[in-house]
Chains A and B, each alone.
Chain A
Amino acid sequence: MQQFIRQLAQENDFQATRLLKILRAIQARYFYIPKAAIEQLALMLNISRTQIQNVIEFYSFFHLEPRGQFDILISNSITDLMVGQAELINYFAEKLGVKIGEVRADGVVSLNNTSCTGMCDQSLAGLVNGYAITHLTKSRIDEIVENVNKQLPLDQWSRDFFKVEDNIIKSGLLLNETPIKGAAIKATFARGLMETLTEVEKSGLRGRGGAGYTTAWKWKYCREENADQRYIICNADEGEPGTFKDRVILNAYADSVFEGMTVAAAIIGATQGFIYLRGEYLHLYEKLEAILVERRAANLLGKNILQNGFDFDIEICLGAGAYICGEESALIESLEGKAGIPRNRPPYPVISGYLNKPTSVNNVETFLAAANIAIHGGEWFAAFGTAKSKGTKIHSISGDCAKPGIYEYPFGVTVQTILDDCGATDVLGVQIGGPSGTFISNDEFQRKIAFEDLATGGSFIVFNNSRNILDIVHNFSHFFAHESCGFCTPCRVGTSLLKKQIDKIVEGHGSAGDIVALEELCQLIKNYSHCGLGQTAANPVLTTLERYPEIYQSMLKKISYEPGFDLDKSLETARRLANRDDAAAHLAQVEE
């Protein structure tokens, strides 16, 4: 192992910023990060062992204890639950002979839940040793169990398991274009860098991750900041449950995204770019690397790009299972080889980002749009959409509809139009923008997708009338508690309290005061949290409580107060040890 780690460290130039990459390799080889590896790495990378320990404990895909040789994770996103995730993962566990969360005694296989893997249009989805598997059914699970028990190496499994479909159902302005291989760079230099920035500004392009900051301004501030180095980062940490459009864009339009990054780099004056690819999209890694190689060969990357005297290259960095890294400053921390904890702002990344240099972090779709704008000009893009939301938006549509997949619409499209197109009927409501967004009821389908009405990063989950609102809220609350980075008190403690409070109500132990307590807690988390995760973590409760107060009320008992823990269960140990089961050995949950 010493030799392996020495070589790894060497390949990564002994750079602590490459810690995640190094740990991914160790985890893949040994199924955990041995203590000895931490000690050796600390010396070789010249960082403290606690920094390495923190990174291992922070990211879901790193482990201090061995996982199975086949580490199987099943997505527990709401769309997976809607196709029977609970039953299927139990079936999987039973067939494998392993408990959920544990490693089988022979060390061959381990099984656990994981947050949304971005395959919501091909649920039930999961990961085997980091590689995406889709469309899991009982019969496919049987086949996997057979492969595992035979200890068949992953590369000998049927390719069918790993098939990931693009499912582009409706193309628009951007998806109708073919992948760009140099045209945008040429157009940019022909027009002039500042002139191209002006076109991007004219286009009205705003960040496609959901927050909607004007792209041209970000680039402008970054460019204007006095510095010897600047960075461009593509945020491909698409972790919002229900979003998968970046996966498809990177699979089908990667050239355009890289081209967009290159144009942005030329404008802001960066020579180095990174694409932070979420760990769940490991299956895309080799393909993207190959495209980068091609682009270097075609002089679209590297030195003196297309003879314009401009140097730029892109490195792909993989995440390791942490939703918070979608937040730009957490992403930057992660790129620096640290836990993904959002920074204090100001300063903003455009002033002080990666390695404290000016850094522009933009979404995959933003770069796709920017590359096309560089070719066609701002007017071309701004002709679509609304006054405040220009151009088109690419949506990931999943849940209860006939045709889940990728849909591109100009901003201003109504929810009803999208529902009609994707074949959704008998709809109860739609989760727009993922758990951190808004749940809208079927009274609101004339509302528009736009920054000024329903802002979204692209997640669009349809629920029909057979679904229970509280099941959805329950799933989302657990998601946020799991993904909170734990930096600030309101989010760290609050999301766990919120999870407990929702559990209490969903399990039927709520009473009148519990809704008041719930709302109070939500406001506290929303108003006092450090970053967007905490500030939106209560949205599932707040947006549904506003629309369906009667559903919450119906769960409440007609008493003034009920304990938050199970009284009778709390006597179980004592009953067993005293060997009693008489009436006095039990407690009613509420007074008779």
Chain B
Amino acid sequence: MTNKKVKVATVSLAGCFGCHMSFLDLDERLVDLVEHIQFDRSPLTDIEHCSSDCDIGLIEGGVCNSENVHTLREFRKNCKILVAVGACAINGGLPAMRNHISLEDCLNESYVDGIGVENAQIPSDVELPLLLDKVHPIHEVVKIDYFLPGCPPSADVFWKFLTDLLAGVEPSLPYELVHFD
């Protein structure tokens, strides 16, 4: 292993940050990890954009709006290895359960017809990202190199995956670490 630290960027798209929370469950192992890695763009650092030389990008959540597309592209462009983390990134997950309902019905229910809605109107502001018709897994928008299943993947999954990569071996997860739930 070289002295240069591996740059890791992370983001949550259409996700619940549960995967990030699970990552933090590494607890004291985080101390070992930061000996070898350095966080780049991530909710953990508040760095807004990826450096151009990121090594690993960890993506939580699926793609539900235009901003997600832009973010995902930024990651793909700047990270050598892009990883889909968790059920939502891999197959859309719970947010994709809205795919059975038309977007129009979703928005009307939320902003127009729903119980307790006041000042009923569908938000319209150039600052707001627009929603896609359907929530998509991230591999349908950019090329993905690895998938870490789980809702969320346990801290052990992150540990095994990252330590494998740091050790320069092809990451693999033992049976007990592969979960879709």
Chain A residues with a Cβ under 8 A of chain B: 513, 560-561, 563-565, 567, 569-575, 577-580, 582, 584-585, 587, 591
Contact = CB atoms under 8 A, between A and B. Distances in A.
Interface in B110-156: 122-124, 126, 128-134, 136, 140-143
Nearest to B128: A578
A580 B126 contact: yes
B34 interface: no
Contact of A572 (B73, B133, B141): B133
A513 B143 contact: yes
Contacts of B134: 570
A582 B107 contact: no
Given A580-B124, A591-B77, A575 B140 contact: no
B52 interface: no
A569 B134 CA distance: 11
B140 A580 contact: no
A570 B143 contact: no
A577 B107 CA distance: 8
Given A573-B103, A573-B133, A574-B131, A563 B126 contact: no
> Which A-B residue pairs are the 4 nearest by beta carbons?
A574-B130, A578-B124, A561-B143, A570-B132
Interface of B: 66, 69, 73, 77, 102-104, 107, 122-124, 126, 128-134, 136, 140-143
A564 B77 CA distance: 19
B136 A578 contact: no
A574 B107 CA distance: 9
A587 B71 CA distance: 12
A567 B69 contact: yes
Nearest to B133: A570
Contacts of B77: 591
Given A564-B140, A565-B136, A573-B102, A578 B73 contact: no
Nearest to A582: B126
A577 B143 contact: no
B126 to A, nearest CB: 5
B73 A560 contact: no
A584 B66 contact: yes
A591 B104 CA distance: 27
Nearest to B132: A570
A13 to B, nearest CB: 46
Contacts of A564: 140
Contacts of A573: 102-104, 133
30 contacts: A513-B143, A561-B142, A563-B136, A563-B140, A563-B141, A565-B136, A565-B140, A567-B132, A567-B141, A570-B132, A570-B134, A571-B130, A571-B133, A573-B102, A573-B133, A574-B130, A574-B131, A574-B132, A575-B130, A577-B107, A577-B122, A578-B122, A580-B124, A580-B130, A584-B66, A585-B126, A585-B130, A587-B69, A591-B73, A591-B77
A575 B104 CA distance: 11
Contacts of B73: 591
Nearest to B69: A587
Contacts of A574: 103, 107, 130-133
B143 A560 contact: yes
